[in-house]
């Protein structure tokens, strides 16, 4: 722990050991925020109850902040120590605090203040990312800061009656944009993450193209992709998190298409639209399972168990037992029960004469039953090998007006077409022009960066091709 000497109030009784003085609390707020915006709160805090600023605007080092303490605070110099650490794998917040020096009883008492309050989402407590700081005055724990999000910390301080109180502190973030594009060598995931995107941007990219392409079988080395997404920067100019995708494009062997994220003013529902204003969303998903390989296609084949040659009415996806199966589209469950050689079986009725069927399931999703309405992408069951099956897989069928069709080559009805609503189409054109301008600006930055790196290495290089 590193000691920091700070003054106490002159006209008030010195705080008891382990109780946080107002001046020290001000410095801790500054240290947590790293912000000049809290200085006003510090200067006024010596004699008043003025609330501390809860936003940060510019970095200011703690030693400078210490020199801003008012004359009211200049009598004694108690030793304040600070310790910090990051959450380790399989570690609790209490464990982290005790590891950085807090007595377990005091750590538990401080963290107990968070019970019943929506200040920290336990799902966001991640090893290596969640951090904590502890302050000690004359050896006693007086304050704790927990940072689970890039733009927010929770400050827990000890009051004069030895109880604890918690306060959220927010950093002021500046929005920006980032564009990544590259040739795919192994996967879109690895290429995008290597250039600054995160898991969520890759997942959103996949969602935009989920109705048009099978990422397990239709992405090839040499295909190119582009993603433009929102970013957020802290007061120091550090990029702390990413936001929504504004544009996603794929230029490959299977397809060449780009989508703009757009929210029409009439319904307020965000979706991805191509340059003509046609929604990426299709009536049915192309594949109702992730990470599976096709083990048998639609068409005539010799049955592996009966030995007879007959029409194989669906597509088989080999996958481990327990892999989630999704409803291919919105509809009503017609059947969710045992069906002879199909084993555990689900059939869903959709609109426009479409039906889908899912067979050989190990089990159904909790609560799924006949007559229940389901939404596209909802988990309805899990891969198994029930009925006449030689191994775990999903047998997936699509029917149109009662006739089985090949789901992999089916041309499906699309979602909304903005061109059918002139005012909304004009909104989209304005939005598209704005996004294209951002793509051009961010693309120029990518090209400049590439040329700078090449010049530094003594090599000539052309800007990357979008």
Least confident residue range of 41-45, 70-74, 140-144, 359-363: 41-45
Distance from C-alpha of 108 to C-alpha of 164, rounded to nearest angstrom: 11
Distance from C-alpha of 228 to C-alpha of 409, rounded to nearest angstrom: 30
Rounded mean pLDDT, 229-237: 85
413-445 pLDDT tens trace:
777 889 988 999 999 999 999 999 999 987 666
Whole-number pLDDT of residue 22: 55
Distance from C-alpha of 92 to C-alpha of 90, rounded to nearest angstrom: 7
Write out the DSSP string of 203-244. HHHHHHHTTT--TTTS--TT-EEEEEEEEEE-TTS-EEEEEE
Residue with token string 């107002």: 22
Quote the DSSP letter at residue 291.
S
> Which comes out higher in pLDDT, residue 463 or 379?
379
Write out the DSSP string of 22-76. HHHHHHHHHHHHT-GGGHHHHHHTTTS-PPPP----S---HHHHHHT--GGG-S-
Rounded mean pLDDT, 141-156: 85
Whole-number pLDDT of residue 236: 75
Q: Is 280 helix (H, G, I), strand (E, B) or coil?
A: coil
Distance in angstroms between the alpha carbons of the first and the last residue of the chain: 50
Positive or negative CA dihedral for 20, 25, 29, 31? negative
Within its chain, how far is the Cα of 452 from the centroid?
A: 32
Q: 111: closest CA among 84, 139, 152, 141? A: 141
Residue with token string 């479409």: 354
Average pLDDT, the chain: 77
Q: 157: closest CA among 29, 320, 319? A: 29
Whole-number pLDDT of residue 336: 96
Buried b (16+ CB within 10 A) or exposed e, 233-259: bbbeeeeeebbebbbbbbbbebeebbb
Rounded mean pLDDT, 402-411: 86
Residue with token string 């090839």: 220
Write out the DSSP string of 107-134. HHHHHHTTTTSTT--GGG--TTT-EEEE
Distance from C-alpha of 364 to C-alpha of 275, rounded to nearest angstrom: 40
Q: 323: closest CA among 372, 290, 299? A: 290
Helix ranges (H only) for 218-326 are none
Q: What percent of the chain has pLDDT over 70?
A: 73
127-148 pLDDT tens trace:
888 889 999 988 889 999 898 7
CB atoms within 10 A of CB 412: 18
Q: Are 447 and 441 in contact (CB under 8 A)?
A: no
Helix ranges (H only) for 248-359 are none
| Token couple for 77 | 């110099």
Strands 174-183 and 164-170: unpaired
> Which comes out higher in pLDDT, residue 84 or 4?
84
Q: With a cut of 90, say whether residue 372 has pLDDT above it.
A: yes
Helix ranges (H only) for 134-231 are 188-194, 199-209
333-346 pLDDT tens trace:
999 999 999 999 99
For residue 446, what are the contacts with CB-CB under 8 A and spacing of at least 6? 179, 180, 181, 463, 464
Q: 199: closest CA among 236, 227, 170, 232? A: 227
Q: If residue 105 lies in a helix (H) or strand (E), which one and from where to where?
A: helix 104-112
- Confidence class of residue 332 from pLDDT cuts 50, 70 and 90? very high
Cα–Cα separations (whole angstroms), residue 440 to 58, 66, 126, 195, 435: 30, 46, 36, 17, 9
Whole-number pLDDT of residue 459: 39
Whole-number pLDDT of residue 296: 74
Q: 435: closest CA among 272, 260, 265? A: 260
Q: With a cut of 90, say whether residue 462 has pLDDT above it.
A: no
Q: Are 245 and 197 in contact (CB under 8 A)?
A: no
> Which comes out higher in pLDDT, residue 187 or 161?
161
Cα–Cα separations (whole angstroms), residue 97 to 140, 164, 389: 13, 15, 53
- Confidence class of residue 58 from pLDDT cuts 50, 70 and 90? very low
Distance from C-alpha of 5 to C-alpha of 66, rounded to nearest angstrom: 9
Write out the DSSP string of 85-102. EEPPTT--HHHHHHHTT-
Q: With a cut of 70, say whether residue 460 has pLDDT above it.
A: no
260-311 pLDDT tens trace:
999 998 878 788 999 999 998 888 887 888 766 776 776 665 555 555 556 6
Q: 341: closest CA among 382, 373, 389? A: 389
Whole-number pLDDT of residue 104: 92
């Amino acid at each position: 722990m590193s000691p920091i000497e700070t003054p106490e109030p002159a006209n008030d009784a010195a705080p008891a050991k382990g109780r946080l003085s107002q001046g020290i609390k001000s410095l801790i707020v500054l240290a947590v925020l790293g912000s000049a915006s809290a200085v006003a709160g510090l200067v006024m805090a010596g004699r008043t109850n003025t609330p501390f600023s809860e936003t940060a605007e510019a970095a200011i080092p703690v030693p400078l902040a210490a020199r801003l303490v008012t004359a009211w605070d200049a009598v004694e110099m108690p030793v304040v120590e600070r310790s910090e650490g990051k959450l380790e794998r399989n570690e609790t917040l209490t464990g982290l605090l005790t590891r950085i020096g807090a007595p377990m009883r005091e750590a538990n008492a401080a963290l107990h203040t968070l019970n019943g309050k929506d200040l920290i989402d336990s799902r966001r407590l991640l090893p290596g990312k969640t951090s904590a700081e502890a302050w000690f005055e004359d050896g006693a724990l007086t304050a704790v800061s927990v940072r689970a999000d890039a733009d927010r910390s929770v400050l827990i301080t000890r009051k004069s009656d030895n109880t604890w109180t918690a306060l959220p502190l927010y950093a002021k973030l500046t929005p920006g944009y980032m564009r990544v594009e590259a040739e795919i060598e192994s996967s879109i995931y690895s290429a995008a993450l290597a250039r600054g995107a995160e898991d969520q941007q890759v997942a959103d990219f996949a969602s935009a193209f989920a109705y048009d392409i099978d990422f397990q079988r239709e992405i090839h080395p040499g295909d190119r992709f582009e993603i433009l997404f929102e970013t957020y920067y802290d007061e120091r100019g550090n990029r702390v998190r990413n936001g929504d995708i504004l544009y996603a494009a794929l230029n490959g062997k299977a397809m060449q298409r780009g989508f703009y994220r757009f929210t029409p003013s009439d319904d307020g529902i965000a979706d991805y639209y191509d340059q003509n204003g046609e929604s990426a969303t299709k009536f049915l998903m192309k594949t109702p399972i992730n990470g599976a390989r096709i083990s048998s296609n639609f068409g005539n084949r010799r049955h592996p168990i009966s030995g007879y040659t007959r029409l194989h009415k669906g597509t088989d996806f080999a996958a481990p037992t327990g892999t989630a199966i999704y409803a291919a589209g919105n509809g009503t469950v017609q059947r969710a029960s045992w069906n002879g050689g199909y084993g555990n079986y689900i059939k869903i009725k959709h609109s426009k004469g479409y039906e889908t069927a899912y067979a050989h399931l190990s089990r159904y999703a909790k609560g799924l039953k006949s007559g229940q309405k389901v939404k596209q992408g909802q988990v309805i069951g899990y891969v198994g090998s029930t009925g006449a099956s030689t191994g775990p897989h999903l047998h997936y069928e699509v029917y149109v007006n009662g006739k089985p069709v090949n789901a992999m080559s089916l041309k499906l009805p699309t979602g909304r077409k903005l061109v059918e609503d002139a005012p909304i189409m004009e909104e989209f054109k304005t939005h598209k022009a704005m996004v294209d301008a951002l793509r051009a600006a961010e693309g120029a930055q990518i090209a400049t960066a590439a040329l700078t790196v090449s010049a530094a290495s003594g090599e000539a290089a052309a800007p990357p091709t979008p």
